[in-house]
Amino acid sequence: MVRDADTVARLAGDEFVVLLPDVGSVADATAVAATLRSALKMPFHVENIELDVEVSAARGHVATALPLTFTRPDRR
pLDDT at 72 over 60: yes
74 or 45: whose pLDDT is higher? 45
Over 60: is that where the pLDDT of 76 sits? no
Give the Cα separation of 68 and 76 in Å (integer).
16
Tell if the pTM clears 0.85, that is, is over it.
no
The predicted-structure confidence for 15-54, as pLDDT tens digits, reads as follows: 888 888 888 888 888 888 888 888 888 898 999 999 988 8
CA distance 59 to 17: 10
Q: What is the pLDDT of residue 37?
A: 86
